[in-house]
């Protein structure tokens, strides 16, 4: 037992939980209840645990996560809307010893960048893709995304999304899973501690595949709460993922 200066006893404290080194200590610009903070933390923890900070290059999308390089303490690039998988291809092909990941929202990956993600998977690029699906365009003010649920009210579907004229929610992960070049596709939800632990394991596996030089693309889709544009409280947004979104976007491993 140690004693302090005034002779009082104190217990040696051991730090059991702390900010991952890869996640910078800075104020967040994300809205209260947003899932990006959780996803950023999980990715940072995985990078730390795998010891790859020094050889990782990250790609920030256009969308709410455009400033991802303000949070991830790795070499990062910010690219044109939807083009991350093409940029990642140029990086990984010329730097096969580096770990390249893209972090993209559903507007970025499932709308304007559909061609790039499908062809990166089609070419079996050795990349790790983190796909945040919150069913809206967040940064531009909550407009309809291809992933928007039927009936969901957004800035551009004030009456709720109708299949007739606005189409059905787009299941990009299912599309990608049928391609031979996509070797691992899993959908997780950032909606409860248990779900979040599963998501972390999935992210870790997606990075490990690249570290182990597995020949193909890994993608983890994360159903992520957007209380601001879902017009919900944060707890309700979590429940909305569990009870509603998973009906359209079922959780689990789609490939690999």
Q: Which residues bind another protein (CB under 8 A)?
A: 53-57, 66-67, 69, 72-80, 83, 86-95, 98, 115-116, 119, 122-123
| Cβ density class 151-176: b for 16+ within 10 Å, e for less | ebbbebbeeebeeeebeebbbbbebb
CB-CB contact of 189 with 245 (8 Å): yes
Interhelix angle 114-122/84-94, nearest 10 degrees: 30
Q: Smallest distance from the beta carbon of 18 to another protein, in angstroms?
A: 20
Q: How far is the CB of 138 from another protein (least distance, A)?
A: 16
Identity of the residue, 94 or 212, whose beta carbon is nearer to another protein in the bound complex: 94
Residue 102 beta carbon to another protein: minimum distance, rounded to whole angstroms: 10
Tokens coding 202: 């999935």
Nearest CB to another protein, comparing residues 58 and 227? 58
Q: What are the φ/ψ torsions at residue 3 (nearest 5 degrees)?
A: -120, 140
CB atoms within 10 A of CB 180: 10
Q: Which is nearer to another protein, 24 or 205 (CB)?
A: 24
The DSSP line for 58-101 is EEE-SSGGGGGGGTB-SEEEE-STT-HHHHHHHHHHH-TTSEEE
Residue 223's nearest CA partner among 255, 185, 195 is 195
Q: How far is the CB of 3 from another protein (least distance, A)?
A: 41
Nearer to another protein, 20 or 189 (CB): 20
- Give dist(CA 124, CA 17) in Å, integer: 37
Closest CB to another protein among residues 38, 84: 84
- Minimum CB–partner distance for residue 203 and another protein (Å): 19
Least distance in Å: CB of 75 to another protein? 4
Task: Give the residue with the Cβ less far from another protein, 69 or 207.
Answer: 69
Strands (E), the chain: 2-3, 9-10, 56-60, 75-78, 99-105, 128-133, 136-137, 143-144, 182-189, 217-223, 252-255
Answer for the pair 170, 204: CB distance below 8 angstroms, yes or no.
no
CA distance 99 to 102: 10
* CB 104, min distance to another protein, A: 13
Nearer to another protein by Cβ, of 41 and 123: the residue is 123
């Amino acid at each position: 037992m140690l004693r302090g200066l005034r002779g009082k006893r104190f217990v040696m404290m051991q730090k059991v939980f702390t900010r991952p080194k890869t996640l910078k200590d800075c104020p967040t610009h994300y809205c209260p209840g947003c899932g990006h903070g959780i996803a950023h933390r999980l990715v940072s923890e995985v990078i730390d645990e795998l010891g790859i900070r020094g050889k990782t290059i990250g790609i920030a999308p256009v969308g709410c996560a455009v400033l991802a390089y303000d949070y991830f303490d790795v070499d990062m690039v910010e690219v044109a809307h939807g083009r991350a998988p093409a940029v990642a291809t140029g990086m990984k092909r010329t730097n096969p010893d580096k770990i390249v990941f893209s972090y993209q929202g559903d507007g970025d990956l499932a709308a304007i960048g559909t061609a790039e993600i499908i062809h990166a998977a089609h070419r079996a690029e050795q990349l790790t893709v983190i796909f945040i699906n919150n069913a809206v365009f967040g940064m531009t003010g909550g407009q309809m995304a291809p992933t928007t649920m039927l009936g969901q009210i957004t800035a551009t579907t004030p009456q709720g999304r109708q299949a007739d004229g606005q189409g059905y929610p787009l299941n990009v992960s299912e599309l990608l899973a049928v391609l031979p070049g996509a070797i691992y596709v899993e959908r997780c939800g950032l909606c409860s501690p248990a779900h979040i632990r599963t998501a972390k394991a999935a992210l870790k596996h997606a990075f490990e595949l690249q570290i182990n030089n597995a020949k193909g693309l890994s993608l983890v889709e994360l159903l992520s709460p957007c209380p601001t544009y879902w017009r919900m409280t944060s707890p309700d947004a979590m429940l909305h993922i569990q009870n509603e979104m998973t009906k359209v976007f079922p959780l689990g491993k789609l490939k690999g």
